[in-house]
Amino acid sequence: MKYRMLVFDFDGTIADTLGESRHIYNQMAPDFGLRQIEEHELDLLRHLSLSQLLDHLKIPKRRVPALISRGTGLMRGNITRLQLIGGMAEVLVEMRRHVEGFGILTSNASANVDLFLNNHGLREHFDFISSTSKLTGKAKHLKAIRKTFSLRNEEMLYVGDELRDVKASQKAGIPIAAVTWGFNSRESLTAMSPNHLIEHPTDFLRLLGTH
């Protein structure tokens, strides 16, 4: 069935935020009594689930909301200097022409996403930006979006770069397209059996049947 609505994750899916996220985490780590992330660790971290990541970095789950809150605040200062994932700008504009709805569901702050999209001339293409402060709260939001727009499960597609995005979509019964250029590795995403695996932004056009 043709997808009527596409909903995107933001960090690592549309915006190239991995380097900035590590910089901000390392900036905050001493205040939270956490160790910093070394660059050589990133390849290992890309294979880990959220719970494995928290265990590896010895981050208590109770500290996660505060880390997210401060981290998104710090990111706001640099958000207009961050870059789009290569090739996404053109593909997003083309995809928008072939679906009825376009949205974003992210753990980042809505204000950050709004600033970023406006800076890159893309805000007008998105109908909504939805934010959840819970790293594992996306399933509920996906269900709410589907109901708001009176869609059947199979008419909506979520696009994300992390294992938790795949898990949330599967929990919500919403098809998921996992992109391989973000945080989690191609191998770890493949093991989760997403509906679609996207290796390059242009793959979206073939998925939608525009090419």
- Give the pLDDT of residue 2: 86
What number is the average pLDDT over the span 116-131? Answer: 97
Is residue 49's pLDDT more than 70? yes
Is residue 135's pLDDT more than 80? no
Region of residue 193 (phi > 0: left; psi between -120 and 50: alpha; otherwise: beta): left
Q: Would you kindly state where each structural domain of the chain is located, as residue ranges?
A: 5-16+84-207, 18-80
What number is the average pLDDT over the span 45-59? Answer: 94
Share of the chain above pLDDT 90, in %: 90
Which runs of consecutive H residues, i.e. helices, occur in 10-162?
18-28, 42-45, 50-57, 64-76, 88-96, 110-119, 138-148
pTM over 0.75: yes
Quote the tokens at residue 181: 């250029």
Report angle CA 186, 189, 193 to the nearest 5 degrees.
125
pLDDT digits (tens, 9 = 90+) for 146-198: 999 999 999 999 999 999 999 999 999 999 999 999 999 999 999 999 999 99
More confident position, 159 or 208: 159
- Give the pLDDT of residue 191: 97
- The CA–CA distances, whole Å, from 187 to 149, 174, 206 equal 33, 21, 22
Half-sphere exposure of 30 (CA within 13 A, CB side): 2
Is residue 6's pLDDT more than 90? yes
- Give the pLDDT of residue 136: 72
What number is the average pLDDT over the span 59-81? Answer: 92
What number is the average pLDDT over the span 59-85? Answer: 93
CATH class of 5-16+84-207: alpha beta
pLDDT, averaged across the chain: 94
DSSP-derived secondary structure letter, 103 = E
Share of the chain above pLDDT 70, in %: 99
What number is the average pLDDT over the span 122-131? Answer: 97
More confident position, 120 or 134: 120
- Give the pLDDT of residue 210: 63
